[in-house]
Every structure is written in structure tokens, then in C-alpha cells.
Amino acid sequence: MNSFFKNIFRFGWANFYRNKLLSFQVIFVMVVVVLTVTSLFLFKGLASYLIGEIEKRVDVVVSFKREASEEDILKVKEKLYSFSQDIENIDYISKDRALELFKEKHVNDPVYQQALNELQDNPLLASLNVKANNLKSYADITGFLEKNEDFASLINKISYNDTTHKQAIEKLILITNGVKQAGITIGVILSLLVILITFNTVKLSILSFKDEITTMKLVGASSRFVRGPFVIQIFICGIFSVAIADLIIFCGSFYLNNKISTWLSQFNILNYFQGNLLFLVAIQISIVIILGFISTWLASRKYLKI
């Protein structure tokens, strides 16, 4: 058994280096395959980051009537936390804090400054700024606040009910869903292409060994003994292609990182790639091994039937 595997590895390696042009072709195609799969992974990371960034900027402001006490508002805050696990954060902005923020915001605007000085009382209302992990949760949160009789009498306005705010959130939901679905669709299409390209490349390389396979069978070799070296040959091509593809991606990420850092300051594509390198290499090698094995098995099956 030991010499069986030793021979298979020896023949596989010999097939690899004696058929340099063929090995180069297989490596080239596999590099494209690995680059495609890895780019898809990096694209997913970038898309998740962008969607997250957009979602972070969205919130719903619940403003309370003048007569609502801080205690009542904090109770509403507590109830909201227990209502939905999608709530990431709720900030309580008291009337005084709201006034401070307003003044800070318009510190250079003399019209606002003058208007504020003329007012005796603080005209602003206390509010809760609700941030959720999921854009879809805002409709549920609004519904919860509106339907609850204890809160309804305290609430002055919920920003989600503004037509523009609601439309903006709904549009964002559509966009993020669209991006996710496009990602899945592109992923499925590219995966099918990758499978087809790999299979055809392996099929062509096996075709060039058709006569040898027939001869090997005619001298009494078992199908495993015939097929094994081809699997090893494709596996070696796969290892080389993973190394080459990762080197290309590393250089590409390094270059791209400098370009995109100006508008994506928080997302470092190089760090993202390096941080996931082990996982990526495991996935890449698994893909080339599985695809290589299945393709070799299927492509050689026809010639082994002798």
C-alpha cells in the first residue's frame, strides 16, 4: 500500500514536470479560478463593510411631548431594549442636551444664535435616538411604540413616520438587499463558470493522455493506479495556482489599499486579506482539490472503461 501511494506521487510529479506546457495551462486556468473565488470573498467583505457603514448612519428619532418626564422616557428605552434584540443602541437626549447640541451645531450661525437668545424657554423636546442592526427593524420598532398605549400618549413624533425618512430607509433596504442578492447571483454564476472551466481544462489534459490510459489498463493496471497520478498532477497544479493567485492578490490589495484608503478610511483591504489568509488558503486548496479530483475522476472515467 505504501509503495502504491509512493508510485502514484512519483508518477504524478513526473507527469507535472514532464508536461510543462500542459501544467502551465492548467495552472493558468486554476489561477483564474482561485482569483475569481478570492475576489468574490474580498468583494463580500467590502460590500458588508459598505452596507454596515450605511446602516450605521441610519436611526429613528422618537421625540417626546413636553410633559413626558425623564423617568417615563427611560422606561420607554428599557421596554424598547426588551422588545427587540436587533436594537444596537438607544441614546437618550434630554431637552437640555438637545439645546446644547443645537447650539454647537449652529455656533457660527448668527440668525439661530439671536433667535435662541430671544426665547425664554427651551423649545426643544427630549428624544430617544434608536439605532438598529437591521434596517428592517425600524418599521417594527415604530409599530411597537405606536401600538403601546402607555407610550403613545408620551410620544410627540417618530421620525420613521416622516415620508422622506421612511422612503429613505425603505430605499436603503432595497439597495442592501439588491447588493446581497447580486452577490449571491454573481457568486453562483461564477462558481458554475469556475466548475465548467476547471472541468474542461482537466478534461483536455486527460484527453492528451488518452492513449497512455488505455495502455496502462491493457497491461493490467487498476483504475486507481491509472487515475491516481493524474489527480496528484492536478493537485500540484492547484498548489502552485493558489500560491501564484495569493501573491497576485497580495500585490493587488497593497496597490488598491493606497488608492481606496482616501474614500474607505475604515476598510483596509490588505488587512482584511491578511487577516483571512489562513481561512482563504484552506478554502482555495479545498476548492482546487475537490474540483480537481471530481474533474479528473469524471474526465478519465470514459478512458478507464476498457
Residue 204 CB, nearest approach to other proteins (Å): 16
CA distance 144 to 170: 18
Half-sphere exposure of 169 (CA within 13 A, CB side): 22
Q: Which residues contact 55 (CB under 8 A, 6 or more apart)?
A: 133, 134, 135, 172, 176
CA distance 306 to 303: 7
Residue 246 CB, nearest approach to other proteins (Å): 30
Residue 27 CB, nearest approach to other proteins (Å): 18
Distances in Å between the Cα of 57 and the Cα atoms of 28, 51, 53, 146, 168 are: 43, 10, 7, 23, 12
Counting contacts by CB under 8 A, is residue 13 touching other proteins? no
Among residues 167, 222, 271, 274, the one that binds other proteins under rule CB under 8 A: 222
Residue 226 CB, nearest approach to other proteins (Å): 9
Closer CB to other proteins, residue 61 or residue 221?
A: 221
CA distance 270 to 10: 38
Q: Is 152 exposed, middle or buried (0-12, 13-18, 19+ CB in 10 A)?
A: exposed
Q: Which residues contact 227 (CB under 8 A, 6 or more apart)?
A: 296, 297, 300, 304
Among residues 43, 199, 225, 250, the one that binds other proteins under rule CB under 8 A: 225
Closer CB to other proteins, residue 141 or residue 216?
A: 216
Closer CB to other proteins, residue 91 or residue 211?
A: 211
Total number of residues binding other proteins (CB under 8 A)?
21
Counting contacts by CB under 8 A, is residue 9 touching other proteins? no
Q: Phi, psi (5° rounding) for residue 85?
A: -80, -10
Q: Is 248 exposed, middle or buried (0-12, 13-18, 19+ CB in 10 A)?
A: middle
Counting contacts by CB under 8 A, is residue 302 touching other proteins? no
Counting contacts by CB under 8 A, is residue 272 touching other proteins? no
* Chain residues 192-221 in contact with other proteins, contact rule CB under 8 A: 209, 211-212, 214-221
* Chain residues 18-37 in contact with other proteins, contact rule CB under 8 A: 18-19
Among residues 175, 196, 247, 306, the one that binds other proteins under rule CB under 8 A: 306
Binding site for other proteins (CB under 8 A): 3, 7, 14-15, 18-19, 209, 211-212, 214-223, 225, 306
